[in-house]
Amino acid sequence: MMVKICGITNREDALAAIEGGAAALGFNFYPASPRYIAPEDAAEISAGLAVWPAIWKVGVFVDEEPEWVLRIARQAGLDIAQLHGSESSENYPRGIRVWKAIRVRAGHVPEAPDCPAEAVLLDGPASGESFAWQDVPRYAGKLILAGGLDAGNVRQAIEQAHPWGVDACSRLESAPGRKDRFKMAEFLKAALAATS
């Protein structure tokens, strides 16, 4: 099970996530987000993670030009671009792995899109909101569940949707962009235990 902690804005939270077993860390480069991180700050955190080369660094982008995504990816040492906008597959950045995020709206869980992304991330209707995991269609690609996950519901989400990975952010915070270490540790423990 790939477990990602998103909304990382500081080195301490990044290290705590890694120590808890996270496989990926998410950095939000959408300026309107309360979890926004400047590329140079993400680069500083990434540089300090060089001793953990297996940890994926994921950049979250919304409707950005592919060239800009690639520039930030190089600057911040990203492994993956997670696209949350209305990008068509023709506008995916080339030369970096892509995860395509799709928001679940009005209780409708969309079918897996036909796109060249490495994985599809299904996100809740709004930050911190979950959706009907039992309605997630089965498909051959890699599925990541996000939206409203925490230690109390991640096992149920995994059992119902059988994803390749899970991603959590807002329900693990003490304030936007600041993780609650206990909540994060409990989420990581529950997510990893659900697959053992």
The DSSP element (H or E) to which 45 belongs, if any, is helix 39-47
Residue 76 is predicted with a pLDDT of 97
Q: What does the mean pLDDT of the chain come to?
A: 92
Please tell me whether residue 121 adopts helix, strand or coil conformation. strand
Q: Which residues pair with 145 in a beta bridge?
A: 122, 166
Structure tokens at 137: 């269609």
Domains and CATH numbers, the chain: 2-193 (3.20.20.70)
Q: Taking the CA atoms of 145, 147, 153 and 154 in sequence, report the sign of the dihedral they define.
A: positive
Which pLDDT value is given to residue 112? 62
Amino acid 106: pLDDT:
65
- Over its length of 196 residues, how does the chain's per-residue pLDDT go in tens digits? 999 999 999 999 999 999 999 999 999 999 999 999 999 999 999 999 989 999 999 999 999 999 999 999 999 999 999 999 988 888 899 999 999 998 887 666 666 666 789 999 998 877 777 877 888 877 667 999 999 999 999 999 999 999 999 999 999 999 999 999 999 999 999 999 997 6
Active-site residue set: 6, 123
Q: What is the pLDDT of residue 165?
A: 96
